[in-house]
C-alpha cells in the first residue's frame, strides 16, 4: 500500500473488490486554553476549577520526602559514617580498615542505604512523570500537571529536568536553595507560584483538596465540555424567531433563556429610533350635509384613553367554540383578549437533550440509556452516546400526575441534577423531584426539563 499519508491528508485505499475506502488521518491536536502566542491562560484553568497549590503545603510535601530519604540513609549515617571518620584519623587507613572485624557489615549497610534511596527516588520520578504525584504530594493533596495541556507532566522534562534543576541548586550551599526554592516562586509573572524548576519543566502544582483533581478523567471531561459550551454560547450569534422583519422598526434582541437546543428570545423596540405615530386617517364622509349647515371644524386628536376593564360575563352567556372566527371590533369598543390556557389542563413535560432532540415524558415516564429495556411501565428511550459514558440502562424519569421525579438506575458514570448553577449527585435508587428549567446530567449527556400547560 505504500507509506501512510501525512497528518491531515486523505488516504485512499482500494481493497479487493473495487470498493474504495477513504481514511482521514488527522493527528494534529488542538490544545485548549492557550492564547494567541501559545501560552497557557490562567483564567481557563480557573474556569475549569483548578486552583494553585499553596506554598506552605508544597514546602511541607518536600520536607516529608526529605525526611523519608534521611530515614533510608540511617544505616549509612549511623554505621558507615562514624567508621569512615575513624579511618580518616588513623595513621594508616588501609591497615585500620583491614583490621576492622565489622567490615562486611559496613559494606552491607552502605549498599542497603544506597539501594533503598535509589529505588525511592526512581519511584518518585516515575510517579511524578506519569501521574503527577509523589509521596509528599499524595499526603498533602497536591498534583503536578503540564501547564499547557493540564495533563501529566511527562517523565524526562516534567520530572527528571525539574529535579536536576532543583538538586543543582544545592551546589551553591545555602544561597542556591534559598534563591531557587524559596524566592523564585515570588517572581512568577502569572502569579501561580511557579519557581524556576517549574518554569524549566513546564509544570504547575494544583490543589485537589479545594479544587478539581486534573487526573479525574470524568470530571475533567465534563468541565472542559461545560467551559467549551459556555464559550460557544457567548460567541455565537443566533437569530431569534421572535424578531419582527419590519424595516421601519429597529429591534434589539434580548436573550431570555438559553439551552442546548437553541435560544429563546424577545424583542425590545428602540423608542428613540421609532418614528412618531402618524394621525389616524379621517373617517369616511357620510351623506352630504345640507347647504345651510356650515362644515364643522376638524376635531382635535383625542388623548389616549386608558384601557377599560371588560364587563363581567353574564351567567347565561354561552362561550364561543374554540377556533370560531371573531367579528372585527367596531371603533371605540373593547376587544376581548385571547383565552389563556386552562391552569388545570394536563402538563406537557419534555426533555430537551443536548443534541436538540426532544423526548416527551408521558404515562408513567421514560427510561434513558444506550439500550434500555421496558421496566415498571416506563417507555424505553435509547440515547446515542459515542463516548460510551451512558450506561445501557442509565436513568429513569418518572411521572406521578403533575409531579416529576428522576432516579439513577445504578449507572457506571453516575447522574446529577443541576439547579440554579448547583449540581447534586444522584444516589442510585433515590427518587429526586425535578422542577421546570432543571438540567439532568447522565454520563456526559445533558437534558433540560421543560414543563408547559395547555
Percent of the chain with pLDDT strictly greater than 70: 67
Q: Which three cell numbers stand for residue 158?
A: 516534567
In this prediction, residue 32 carries a pLDDT of: 86
Q: Tell me: pLDDT of 30 over 60.
A: yes
The residue-averaged pLDDT of 87-98 equals 84
Q: For 90-104, 410-424, 434-448, which range has the lowest pLDDT when averaged over its residues?
A: 90-104
207-256 pLDDT, tens digit per residue, is 999 989 999 988 888 888 878 765 554 554 555 555 454 444 444 444 44
In this prediction, residue 336 carries a pLDDT of: 40
Please say whether the structural domain 347-453 has been given the CATH code 3.40.50.300. no
In this prediction, residue 69 carries a pLDDT of: 93
Q: Which three cell numbers stand for residue 29?
A: 491536536
In this prediction, residue 218 carries a pLDDT of: 85
123-167 pLDDT, tens digit per residue, is 999 999 999 999 999 999 999 999 999 999 999 998 899 989 988
In this prediction, residue 16 carries a pLDDT of: 53
Percent of the chain with pLDDT strictly greater than 90: 32
Task: Parse the chain into domains and list their residue ranges.
Answer: 1-26, 47-207, 347-453
Q: CB-based contacts of 144: which residues, under 8 Å, 6+ apart?
A: 128, 132, 133, 137, 153, 158, 203, 204, 205, 206
330-339 pLDDT, tens digit per residue, is 444 433 433 3
Q: What DSSP line would sit under 19-62, residue for residue?
A: --EEEEE----PPSSB-TTSPBPHHHHHHHT--BPPHHHHHHHH
In this prediction, residue 27 carries a pLDDT of: 54
Are the C-beta atoms of 449 and 404 separated by less than 8 Å?
yes
What pTM was computed for the model? Answer: 0.50
Q: Tell me: pLDDT of 366 over 60.
A: yes
Q: Tell me: pLDDT of 19 over 90.
A: no
Q: Tell me: pLDDT of 173 over 80.
A: yes
Amino acid at each position: 500500500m505504500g507509506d501512510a499519508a501525512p497528518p491531515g491528508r486523505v488516504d485512499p485505499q482500494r481493497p479487493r473488490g473495487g470498493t474504495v475506502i477513504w481514511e482521514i488521518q488527522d493527528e494534529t491536536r488542538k490544545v485548549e486554553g492557550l492564547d494567541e502566542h501559545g501560552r497557557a491562560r490562567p483564567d481557563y484553568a480557573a474556569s475549569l476549577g483548578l486552583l494553585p497549590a499553596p506554598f506552605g503545603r508544597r514546602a511541607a510535601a518536600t520536607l516529608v520526602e526529605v525526611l523519608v530519604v534521611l530515614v533510608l540513609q540511617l544505616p549509612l549515617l549511623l554505621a558507615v559514617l562514624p567508621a569512615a571518620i575513624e579511618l580518616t584519623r588513623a595513621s594508616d587507613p588501609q591497615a585500620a580498615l583491614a583490621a576492622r572485624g565489622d567490615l562486611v557489615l559496613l559494606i552491607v549497610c552502605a549498599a542497603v542505604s544506597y539501594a533503598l534511596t535509589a529505588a525511592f527516588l526512581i519511584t518518585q520520578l516515575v510517579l511524578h512523570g506519569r501521574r503527577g504525584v509523589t509521596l509528599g504530594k499524595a499526603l498533602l493533596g497536591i498534583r503536578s500537571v503540564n501547564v499547557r495541556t493540564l495533563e501529566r507532566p511527562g517523565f524526562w522534562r516534567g520530572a527528571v529536568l525539574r529535579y536536576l534543576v532543583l538538586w543543582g541548586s544545592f551546589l551553591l550551599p545555602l544561597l542556591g536553595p534559598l534563591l531557587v526554592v524559596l524566592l523564585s516562586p515570588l517572581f512568577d509573572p502569572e502569579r501561580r507560584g511557579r519557581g524556576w524548576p517549574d518554569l524549566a519543566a513546564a509544570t504547575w502544582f494544583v490543589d485537589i483538596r479545594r479544587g478539581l483533581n486534573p487526573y479525574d478523567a470524568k470530571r475533567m471531561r465534563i468541565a472542559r465540555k461545560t467551559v467549551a459550551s459556555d464559550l460557544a454560547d457567548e460567541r455565537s450569534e443566533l437569530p431569534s424567531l421572535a424578531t419582527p422583519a419590519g424595516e421601519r422598526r429597529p429591534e434589539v434582541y434580548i436573550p431570555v433563556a438559553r439551552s442546548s437546543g437553541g435560544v429563546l428570545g424577545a424583542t425590545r423596540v428602540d423608542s428613540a429610533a421609532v418614528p412618531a405615530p402618524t394621525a389616524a386617517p379621517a373617517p369616511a364622509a357620510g351623506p352630504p350635509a345640507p347647504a345651510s349647515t356650515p362644515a364643522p371644524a376638524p376635531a382635535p386628536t383625542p388623548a389616549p384613553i386608558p384601557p377599560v376593564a371588560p364587563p363581567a360575563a353574564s351567567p347565561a352567556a354561552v362561550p364561543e367554540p374554540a377556533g370560531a372566527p371573531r367579528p372585527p371590533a367596531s371603533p371605540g369598543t373593547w376587544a376581548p383578549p385571547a383565552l389563556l390556557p386552562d391552569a388545570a389542563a394536563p402538563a406537557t413535560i419534555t426533555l430537551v437533550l443536548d443534541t436538540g432532540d426532544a423526548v416527551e415524558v408521558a404515562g408513567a415516564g421514560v427510561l434513558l440509556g444506550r439500550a434500555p429495556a421496558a421496566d415498571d411501565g416506563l417507555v424505553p428511550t435509547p440515547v446515542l452516546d459515542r463516548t460510551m459514558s451512558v450506561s445501557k440502562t442509565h436513568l429513569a424519569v418518572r411521572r406521578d400526575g403533575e409531579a416529576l421525579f428522576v432516579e439513577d438506575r445504578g449507572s457506571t458514570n453516575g447522574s446529577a441534577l443541576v439547579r440554579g448553577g448547583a449540581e447534586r449527585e444522584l444516589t442510585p435508587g433515590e427518587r429526586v423531584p425535578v422542577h421546570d428549567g432543571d438540567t439532568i446530567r447522565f454520563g456526559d449527556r445533558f437534558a433540560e426539563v421543560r414543563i408547559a400547560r395547555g
